[in-house]
Chain A
Amino acid sequence: MAITAPAMTEELGQTLAREQVSLWADAWRRLRRNRLALAAFLYLVLLAVVALVAIVYTPYPMAHQGVAVPYSPPSASHLLGGDAQGRDILSRLMIGAQISLIVGVGTQLVVLAVGLPLGLLAGYYRGWFDTVLSFLINVFYGIPDLLVALILVVLIGRSSLWVIIFAIAVTRWMDMARLVRGQTLSLREREFVEAARSTGARPSKIIFKHILPNALGPVIVQATFGVPQAILFEAFLSFLGLGVPPPTPSWGSMASDGIAAMRISPHIVLAPAIALSLTLMAFNFLGDGLRDALDPRQKR
């Protein structure tokens, strides 16, 4: 082992890097064994494929009314039947998948872009920045998210995917910020950070090379759980009529349309309801699996 201080830190960093690689490999092994999480992952891949396909092809144009008999049950020509306006439910469901995935993943990307740096900075530098951030986080926590999102949609005046993503991200960024801040706070006290600091490493290097990789585990888990939260949120918004404007179908708006016709044609509400439930469940099972796999306290 080289004797000079920077060299030793470098070695230590490499050893830890090796440990991290094996931590990820370890986690992957554990995840692979979790049947439920794997099934969930496969379902989500399938969903993504369907959403991608829907960009270029759906059995029928999703906005065309009258291509199917209104309220018609599933049949050979319309696999999921027709809705109240005679539109093909399957096609609309496919577009709905796009909406859900875009909103779900999109919000998490925004949340990461905002919460990650804020949390890292607040946790590492502490001081007034941390105090301000913590205060903001507490304020935002006290307000019911749906209500804020609804008001935002009203204030902005109109709704679109971007507006929705923005509204959801505004109400949920603090989960990520708080998590990252907590992780940073505890990681900065660990010995390898002290070692790095004692050899004069720049703060940016410490944050990016030492703290961030170690905080990544819980961050990934949080983001995975955040996606279904966002999808659920969007479903609520469109259920209430404040989501993406018609005729673009969201699973939520399809469900609210379907409830009115529940007596005569339950399939109109069941299709989006089941799609929503399965998708949310899949993300939750995957998140559970990831959390168990990345938990360093697991013995094998």
Chain B
Amino acid sequence: MFTKGSLFYIGQRTVLIVFTVLAVSSIVFLGIHRLPGNAFFSERLRGSQEAVLLHHYHLDEPLLVQYKTFIGNLLHGDLGESLIFRGVKIAPLVAREATVSAEVGVTALIFTVGLGILFGVLAAMRQNTWVDYLLSTTSVIGYSMPNFVIATFLLLVFGIYLDNLTNGAIFYEIGWSGTYGTPGQIWLPAIALGFPYASIVARLTRASMLEVIRQDYVRTARAKGLSERVVVLRHALRNALIPVVTILGPLVIGIITGSVVIENIFGIPGLGKEFVTSILSRDYNIVIGVFTMYAALVGLANLGVDLLYTVLDPRIRY
């Protein structure tokens, strides 16, 4: 996998990601700075204080100069300072929040992909039985429901009904202690986040398996005397997963998007919560910072998916 060609490709893509992040960041920066002047501070300040603050944040300089400073800082990994919480540096804040979001996001991803593939294969191997029909119907329901609706239902069941039923033995409480969550806290948001996508993956895996299982090379594998399990897992599944990897990119983006809502419901101190909070409180510097981080994450996710292709399908080489 790590050939000279692929390293070169990774290098190319990384440069592309850096450019994209810069571009996206710039667009957001310039867009926000076009807003009417004193939108930047929500308090009513006395003249001299305002001038000091404006100077501190470079807001009294011409736009082009501000932009140059911004890009210069960005390339050094400095995302500036929060407008509302003076003195708080944005870069470390956003970086830490990104890891929190990643914690929940990766859990959701593993759940999504794992369960989705499992049920997809099951439905394909038991085509037209009750297992298959059950899956087909639940999967449509699954990706039709907004993730906050799923979260609501899960909370109702695990946070309220089961609590009443079992007198407190099974109980999920919304709350997040510390920066990172415990498994007991993560599982519910992760399921809510991933469930719609698990349904999509299951559907796609099923359709893909059904196609692959009719292929000539599967017939050859059986003719060789291989056990059905080997035929399904080694020959059929590997090929069936290729279309599934194709949607992994949009899927990760979907999880990133969905985390904005989920983090808000569960009070998870991640990137999504910060994004909404900063928008609502008009802390534009943080908005720019969060968006920049998101652009980087998306770029890396897409690169990861493209590399995953080469692992699965040796016909694809960069």
- A interface, CB within 8 angstroms of B: 141-147, 150-151, 154-155, 157, 228, 232, 235-236, 239-242, 252, 255-256, 258-259, 262-263, 266, 269-270, 273, 276-277, 280-281, 283-285, 288
Contacts and interface: CB of A to CB of B under 8 A. Distances in A.
14 contacts: A142-B20, A143-B24, A143-B295, A147-B291, A150-B276, A151-B31, A228-B144, A236-B146, A236-B261, A241-B280, A255-B152, A259-B148, A262-B159, A281-B140
Interface of B: 20, 24, 28, 31-32, 34-35, 140-141, 143-146, 148-149, 152-153, 155-156, 159-160, 250, 253, 256-257, 260-261, 264-265, 275-276, 279-280, 287, 291, 294-295, 298-299, 302
A101 B263 CA distance: 27
B253 A144 contact: yes
Contacts of B291: 147, 151
Nearest to B299: A142
Residue from A146, A255, A288 with most neighbouring chain B CB atoms (10 Å)? A146
Given A263-B160, A277-B144, A284-B143, A240 B261 contact: yes
Q: Is the interface of A mostly helix, strand, loop or mixed?
A: helix
A258 B28 CA distance: 33
Nearest to A237: B261
B145 A280 contact: yes
Nearest to A231: B146
B298 A143 contact: yes
Nearest to A146: B257
A157 to B, nearest CB: 8
A151 B32 CA distance: 9
B298 A232 contact: no
A276 B147 CA distance: 11
Contacts of B302: 142
Residue from A151, A256, A276 with most neighbouring chain B CB atoms (10 Å)? A151
Contact of A232 (B140, B146, B253, B280): B146
Contacts of A255: 148-149, 152
